[in-house]
Amino acid sequence: MSNNKYVGMWVTADGYIRQELLPNGRYDEARGNRQSAYTGRYEITGDYIEYWDDTGFTADGNFTDINTLQHGGYVFYREN
């Protein structure tokens, strides 16, 4: 998974949601001041991402290009 081109930090334009896709297939999402608000695993197939949160819910999204992720009604941008 470490060769995944989407590994790294993804943030909403306002910076409120920050989602880090880790090279080991896990993610860690912060919301506002709440660190690790959501954690779990993810899998990417092509430009499609599926999430399995540690609390049991699932979600998905799509990378529209190398720097943009649409997920859960939000648009995330790769943090440089």
Residue located via tokens 């949160």: 53
The answer to whether 26 and 42 are in contact (CB under 8 A) is yes
Per-residue pLDDT tens digits for 24-74:
999 999 999 999 999 999 999 999 999 999 999 999 999 999 999 999 899
Helix then strand count (H, E) for the chain reads 0, 8
> Is 2 a residue whose pLDDT tops 60?
no
- The answer to the question of residue 3 being in a domain is no
Residue 36 lies in a domain: yes
24-33 pLDDT per residue, tens? 999 999 999 9
Q: What's the token pair of residue 70? A: 């649409």
For residue 38, the domain's CATH number is 2.40.128.290
pLDDT at 1 over 50: no
Instruction: Show the domain range for 58.
Output: 8-78
